[in-house]
Amino acid sequence: MTVTGAGRALAAGAGAPVSLGRAAQELALRRGDFDLVVQLGLIRAEPPAGGTRPRIRREEIDRLRALPGFPESLREQVRTVGTAEGASLLGVGT
């Protein structure tokens, strides 16, 4: 059975916080890129409660998905470069 994005929200309880992995998946980001999104403060994570892991509110996911150019615009904000591309951007030799 295939569940659409709206169906997932209903199944999980509309507005219910989701795991970091689920949020990364819904934002079309690799987990490492999603971790950068959190560290850069582009998305707010709820602090862990009683030994659980941080969770992401549905409203935060929806806010990012509504950005113009999503998901490419979000990916570009956290794009990391290797040494060769970084050197080129800085105009220095590798």
Q: Token pair for residue 38?
A: 């959190």
Average pLDDT over every residue of 11-17: 66
Sign of CA dihedral 63, 14, 46, 18: negative
Please state the domain extents for the chain. 5-90
Is it the case that residue 3 has pLDDT exceeding 80?
no
Q: What's the pLDDT tens digit per position in 33-61? A: 999 899 889 999 988 877 778 999 999 99
What is the total residue count of the chain? 94
Average pLDDT over residues 76-91: 84
Write phi, then psi, for 10 (nearest 5 degrees).
-70, -40
Quick check: 57 and 15 in contact, CB under 8 A?
yes
- Output helix, strand, coil percentages for the chain, rounded to the nearest 5: 50, 5, 45
